[in-house]
Amino acid sequence: MALDILDLVIVCVVGLATLAYFTKGTLWAKPKAAKTYGNGTAATPYAGGAKKAKRTRNIVEKMEQSDKNVVVFYGSQTGTAEDYASRLAKEGHARFGLKTMTADLEDYDIEYLDTFPEEKLAIFVLATYGEGEPTDNAVEFYNFVRDESSAFSEGGSADEKPLQKMKYVAFGLGNRTYEHYNAMVRQVDEALTRLGAKRIGMAGEGDDGDGTMEEDFLGWKDGMWEAVAAELGLEEHEALYEPTLQVTEQPTLSVADDTVYVGEPSKHHLGSKHVGPYNAHNPYVAAITTSKELFKTKDRNCLHMEIDLGESGLKYTTGDHIAVWPTNADQEVDRFLAVLGLTERRHTVISVTALDSTTKIPLPSPSTYDAIPRYYLEICAPVSRQFLSTLAQFAPTEQAKAALVKLGSDKEYFKSRVADRYCNIAQVMEMVARGHTWASVPFSLWIENLVHLQPRFYSISSSSLLSPRTISITAVVERKAPMSVSGPDHESMLHGVTTNYLLALKRRQHGDEQPELNGKTYAITGPRNKYDGIHVPVHTRHSNFKLPMDTSKPVIMIGPGTGVAPFRGFVAERAHQASALGKTVGKTVLFYGCRRRDEDFMYEDEWPEYQKALGDSFEMITAFSREDATKKTYVQHLLWEKAEEVDALLKQGAYLYVCGDAAHMARDVQATLVRIFEKCRGLETKKAEDLVKQMRNGAKYQEDVWS
State the CATH number of the domain containing residue 128: 3.40.50.360
List, in sequence order, the alpha helices (H) in 177-212: 183-194
**577 and 686 within one domain:** yes
Among 141, 198, 139, 212, residue whose Cα is nearest residue 168: 198
Task: Give catalytic residue positions.
Answer: 459, 659, 704, 706
**Helix crossing, 685-697 with 667-681: angle to 10°?**
120
pLDDT of residue 483: 63
Instruction: Name the pairing type of β-strands 367-368 and 349-354.
Output: antiparallel
What pTM does this model have?
0.86
**653 and 597 within one domain:** yes
Known binding residues for FAD:
456-459, 474-476, 496-499, 706
Residue 511 to residue 489: CA distance in whole angstroms? 31
**410 and 519 within one domain:** no
pLDDT of residue 678: 98
SS3 591: strand
Residue 376 to residue 378: CA distance in whole angstroms? 7
**145 and 110 within one domain:** yes
**461 and 381 within one domain:** no
pLDDT of residue 79: 87
Cβ-based burial of 280 (10 A; exposed 0-12, middle 13-18, buried ≥19): exposed
pLDDT of residue 30: 32
The maximal CA–CA distance of the chain, rounded, in angstroms, is: 119
| Long-range contact pairs involving 211-216 (C-beta distance under 8 Å, separation at least 24) | 211/707, 213/80, 213/173, 214/382, 214/384, 214/385, 215/385, 215/411
CA distances to 183, 197, 255, 444, 656 from 148, rounded to whole Å, are 18, 15, 55, 44, 34
**92 and 161 within one domain:** yes
The CATH number assigned to the domain holding 585 equals: 3.40.50.80
List, in sequence order, the alpha helices (H) in 384-541: 385-391, 398-409, 411-414, 425-433, 443-449, 497-509
pLDDT of residue 662: 84
CA distances to 256, 358, 373 from 353, rounded to whole Å, are 21, 12, 18
Torsion of CA 482, 485, 488, 489, to 10 degrees: -70
- Provide, rounded to the nearest whole percent, the portion of the chain with pLDDT above 90: 81
Instruction: Name the pairing type of β-strands 167-174 and 198-199.
Output: parallel
Q: What is the DSSP string of 512-547?
A: -SS--BTTB---TT-GGGTTTTTEEEEEEE--S---
Known binding residues for FMN:
76-81, 127-130, 173-182, 208
**576 and 531 within one domain:** no
Which regions of the chain are under pLDDT 50?
1-14, 16-53, 485
Among 6, 12, 128, residue whose Cα is nearest residue 77: 128
Its domain, for residue 565, covers 555-705
Is 6 within a domain?
A: no
Amino acid at the residue 299? D
Known binding residues for NADP(+):
300, 562, 625-626, 632-636, 668
Please list, in sequence order, all residues whose beta carbon lies within 8 angstroms of the beta carbon of residue 487, skipping any fewer than 6 positions away. none
Structurally, the chain folds into a number of domains equal to 4
